[in-house]
């Protein structure tokens, strides 16, 4: 199982307690924020639905599911996982990506079905060189990676990467034709303080300021308090943030980018909750942690795309 992020965090900034599931009435304190324009806000988002009439998605992109294996696995356990994925029956209308530890990318690439693409978990800000311990985008491409995960909360809050640094990585990856899974999300104390939108929008702005294009970018909303803790945002909580992110893209980038950019959810996604989450129109897929280490369960999450299908 993946190590809980909560158990890794240290210091006063990261003193997060997960002793009981958090309950939230909204994203900002009611004393200074009220979503009075909820109806018109969601009417604006609904305008994108016509792009895919047989699927309940606000965006026009294909459902996307990524598996972040983090720092887990051995040669033997990964061989078993790959075997399970190769034998799984997966829905055709889903883009599937897995991100093995760097050491095992070649093993996975040489044995995994071409149906599933490979991602790196991190990359450097530019071309390789005298950067001990880093991985360049060129090396990821050379070994067969089509994607890279950037801005994950464990890189932000454990390793200490800031928004500008992450933006530089994303820009360079895209310049080398490697797709970016761009992660955003708030800490528990930020949500409780009503700062969810502020945090997510600031992280989005750092990407927007750096990116040459939003082509080949997937946004992953991952509330930090839900990563590796077993606690998951309710479908309504996740939908509220996803819709707000799409609205931010529409207002600050373009309506076209807002429509075509896939916004996926991550944070203790599993085979039991993925179906309900997938029903929400602004949830365009998932970035999965611990559950992606179990082939049959990961397949269930991938196939939750069927929950989106509605009568034409």
Threshold 0.85, pTM exceeds:
no
Distance CA 106, CA 214 (A): 28
Region 107-114: mean pLDDT is 98
Maximum C-alpha span of the chain = 56
% of the chain with per-residue pLDDT over 70: 80
Active-site residue, from 48, 117, 152, 297:
152
Confidence of residue 131 (pLDDT cuts 50, 70, 90): very high
Q: What is the mean pLDDT of residues 202-230?
A: 95
Catalytic residue check, 152: yes
167-185 tens-digit pLDDT: 999 999 999 999 999 999 9
Q: Which of 25-34, 55-64, 118-127 has the lowest mean pLDDT?
A: 25-34
pLDDT per position as a tens digit, 47-76: 333 333 334 566 668 999 999 999 999 999
Give the pLDDT score at 310: 55
One of 154, 222, 281, 297 is an active-site residue; which one? 222
The answer to whether the beta carbons of residues 96 and 116 sit under 8 Å apart is yes
Cβ neighbours for 188, distance < 8 A, ≥ 6 positions apart: 16, 17, 18, 22, 224, 225
Whether 222 is a known active-site residue: answer yes
First vs last C-alpha separation in the chain: 40
- pLDDT for 43 beyond 70: no
By mean pLDDT, which of 49-63, 95-109, 155-169 is the weakest?
49-63
For the record, the structure tokens of 266 come out as: 């991550």
Average pLDDT, the chain: 84
């Amino acid at each position: 199982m993946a190590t809980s992020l909560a158990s890794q965090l240290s210091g006063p900034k990261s003193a997060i307690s997960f002793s009981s599931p958090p309950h939230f009435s909204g994203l900002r304190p009611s004393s200074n924020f009220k979503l009075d324009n909820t109806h018109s806000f969601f009417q604006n988002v609904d305008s994108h639905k016509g792009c895919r009439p047989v699927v309940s998605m606000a965006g026009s992109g294909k459902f996307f599911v990524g598996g972040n294996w983090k720092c887990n696995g051995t040669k033997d356990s990964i061989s078993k996982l790959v075997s399970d994925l190769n034998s799984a029956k997966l829905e055709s209308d889903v883009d599937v990506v897995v991100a093995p530890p760097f050491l095992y990318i070649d093993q996975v690439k040489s044995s995994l079905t071409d149906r599933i693409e490979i991602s790196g978990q991190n990359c450097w800000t530019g071309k390789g060189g005298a950067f001990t311990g880093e991985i360049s985008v060129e090396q990821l491409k050379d070994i067969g990676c089509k994607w890279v995960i950037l801005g994950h909360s464990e890189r932000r809050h454990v390793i200490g990467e800031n928004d500008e640094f992450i933006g530089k990585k994303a820009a360079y990856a895209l310049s080398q034709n490697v797709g970016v899974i761009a992660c955003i999300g708030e800490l528990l104390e930020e949500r409780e303080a009503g700062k969810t939108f502020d945090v997510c929008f600031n992280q989005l702005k750092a990407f927007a300021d750096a990116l040459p294009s939003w082509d080949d970018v997937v946004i992953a909303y991952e509330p930090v308090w839900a990563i590796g803790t077993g606690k998951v945002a309710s479908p309504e909580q996740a939908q509220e943030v996803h819709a707000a992110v799409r609205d931010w893209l529409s207002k600050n980038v373009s309506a076209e980018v807002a429509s075509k950019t896939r916004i996926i959810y991550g944070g203790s996604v599993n085979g039991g909750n993925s179906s309900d989450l997938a029903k929400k129109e602004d949830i365009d897929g998932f970035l999965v942690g611990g559950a992606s280490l179990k082939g049959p369960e990961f397949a269930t999450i991938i196939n939750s795309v069927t929950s989106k299908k509605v009568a034409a």
